[in-house]
Amino acid sequence: MNKSNVCLAVAVSMLAACASQPVSEEQQKMAARQLLLPYLQQRTVLCNELDVTITPNFHANVSNPGVDKQRHQFERSEEDGVVTKVWTNTTGTRAGMFTVTIGERPDPTDVSGKPLAQTTFLVLNEFRLHTRGGEWAITAKTTGPILAVTEANATREVREFAIADGVVTRR
């Protein structure tokens, strides 16, 4: 066995050993925080549609908009272990727009009124929330034609805005 094959064998056996050991609660919190970190910006995204995919551990980090039966439609479905909730603005007007926040979990005992670190999505047409099992995930993808992002008191139009695997994409 040459030196590179020995190194590869050692690396593979180390990874296998790590994979078989249980993950501590602290490691789980750190991994969840890493995925949530890009949402913890004071940012507002105006979009036509918003698609969010989460695993159940992030459910409390994503707000669910209310439904006004005169302006909105709500549907829930389940297929192959994925629960999909869809909120639709049937009027297509700004008066029926949804506000969806993703960020820190609100503390029910906090009465300070201090704003939470979060990203706010203003959704004109449709918000889809998919909850699935498996590896932890929290992703958000917006579609247009209306896309504007406000960060650090500056607004700019974009064609695409997404946060997936802890990475923000704006184009």
Q: Is residue 12 part of a domain?
A: no
Task: Write out the chain's pLDDT in tens, 171 residues.
Answer: 333 333 333 333 333 344 446 678 888 888 888 999 999 999 999 999 999 999 999 999 999 999 999 999 999 999 999 999 999 999 989 999 999 999 988 778 888 878 788 999 999 999 999 999 998 999 999 988 889 999 988 999 999 999 998 899 988
Q: Is residue 5 part of a domain?
A: no
pLDDT given for residue 21 in this prediction: 62
- Mention every residue, 6+ apart, whose C-beta is less than 8 A from residue 171: 158, 159, 160
pLDDT given for residue 7 in this prediction: 33
Q: Is residue 158 part of a domain?
A: yes
For 124-162, b/e burial (b = at least 16 CB within 10 A) is bbbbbbebeeeeebbbbbbbbeebebeeeeeeeebeebe
How many structural domains comprise the chain? Answer: 1
Q: Is residue 14 part of a domain?
A: no
Q: Is residue 17 part of a domain?
A: no
pLDDT given for residue 22 in this prediction: 67
| Residue 157 · residue 147 · CB < 8 Å | yes
Q: Is residue 73 part of a domain?
A: yes
Domain containing residue 40: 30-170
Rounded to two decimals, the pTM is 0.82
Q: Is residue 9 part of a domain?
A: no
Helix (H, G, I), strand (E, B) or coil at 16: helix
- Chain centre to alpha carbon of residue 170: 15
